[in-house]
Amino acid sequence: MNNIIIPVDFSKYSEYALEIGAMLAKKHNATLHVLHMLELSDSLISHSDSDNKNEMMFLLALSKKKFEPFLDKDYLEGVQVEAMIKHHKVYKEVDELARNVNADLIIMGSHGLMAHEGVFAGSNAEKMVRNSNTPVLTVKSKPQSFNLNTVIFATDLTEASVAAYKKAVNIFSTLESKLHAVYVNRPHTDFISSKEFKEMTQQFAAFGGTDQVDFISGYTVEDGLLQYAEETQADCIAISTHARKGLSHFFRGSISEDLANSSPLPVMSFKI
């Protein structure tokens, strides 16, 4: 692991992500790319009058001023940190930076989705989970200690999910984690018998996945995964995302986003 990106808004949740990033960077000798997005409006960027320029310069100077105390942390001692400020859509800028530096991981702090937030507005963490081509680790609490010894990977056993499984195997092998693949059987949605599970597992292995998959039950995928995580004392939940957009995303939702919002454990997502 060589490069880790941490998008920040200088909140305590960003600090959680930064501290976890520092722990991983020290262990793997990686560089932290700490990125702040100004998220300027299109009108402010496109218009070149002096008022707009002055406002942009003010916001840029304010962000630079915030960076110094934000990065003045004891846990960053000995860590190579590159700080930068950009001003477009968060997930697009982060994805571009990830390609440029060949990032291995993106770490984002998130407070989760609150009841009063609109379904169309979403959150930056959700957008990153849905759109990033680089694995995204979402965290919501301050790390007292941080390890990824045991990780559960949710799979639907389809051929399309094999690529995400292989990405998970690759990154968690680097992180020296033990990966448990798991399938959640639900009573009212896509219920399968034990025989069908065995057949699907064999097909998944033939596609390039694995035949070592645990079979558990839950009313929802999230419910099943959280129960299994508790039973196995997992440190992280990994899951693939289909990057749904528009009405498909509105009506069907996203299990990976729901987990990123609700799970007390860190959640790592892999885009299919």
Q: Which of 88, 105, 140 is the last residue of a domain?
A: 140
* C-alpha torsion 208→210→213→218, nearest 10: -10
**Shared-domain flag, residues 190 and 136:** no
Task: Print the domain residue range for 165.
Answer: 147-272
- Dihedral-angle region of residue 128 (phi above 0 means left; psi in -120 to 50 means alpha; beta otherwise): alpha
Among the listed residues 26, 33, 25, the one whose alpha carbon sits nearest the alpha carbon of residue 7: 33
pLDDT of residue 252: 43
What is the rounded distance in angstroms from the CA atom of residue 266 to the CA atom of residue 233? 13
Give 201's contacts (C-beta < 8 A, 6+ positions apart).
Answer: 157, 183, 211, 213
What is the rounded distance in angstroms from the CA atom of residue 88 to the CA atom of residue 72? 26
Under 8 Å between Cβ of 230 and 267: no
**Shared-domain flag, residues 118 and 163:** no
**Shared-domain flag, residues 7 and 129:** yes
**Shared-domain flag, residues 133 and 229:** no
pLDDT of residue 20: 95
pLDDT of residue 217: 92
What 3-state class would DSSP assign to 14? helix
Under 8 Å between Cβ of 197 and 207: no
**Shared-domain flag, residues 169 and 44:** no
**Shared-domain flag, residues 107 and 19:** yes
**Shared-domain flag, residues 122 and 39:** yes
Q: Which of 93, 118, 140 is the last residue of a domain?
A: 140
Q: Which of 77, 106, 140 is the last residue of a domain?
A: 140
CATH number where 55 lies: 3.40.50.620
pLDDT of residue 132: 83
Number of domain units in the chain: 2
**Shared-domain flag, residues 204 and 239:** yes
**Shared-domain flag, residues 111 and 35:** yes
**Shared-domain flag, residues 180 and 104:** no
What 3-state class would DSSP assign to 114? coil
* C-alpha torsion 219→225→226→232, nearest 10: 130
**Per residue of the chain (272 residues), what is the pLDDT tens digit?**
899 999 888 889 999 999 999 999 999 999 999 988 776 545 444 555 565 555 556 556 667 788 889 999 999 999 999 998 876 555 677 888 899 999 999 998 887 544 334 333 345 666 677 778 899 998 988 887 788 999 999 999 999 889 999 999 999 999 999 999 999 998 877 899 999 999 999 999 999 999 999 999 999 888 899 999 999 999 999 988 765 544 333 334 466 667 766 788 899 988 87
Strand partners of residue 34? 6, 83
**Shared-domain flag, residues 188 and 222:** yes
What is the rounded distance in angstroms from the CA atom of residue 223 to the CA atom of residue 206? 28
**Shared-domain flag, residues 74 and 151:** no
Q: Which amino acid is at 196?
A: E
What 3-state class would DSSP assign to 53? helix
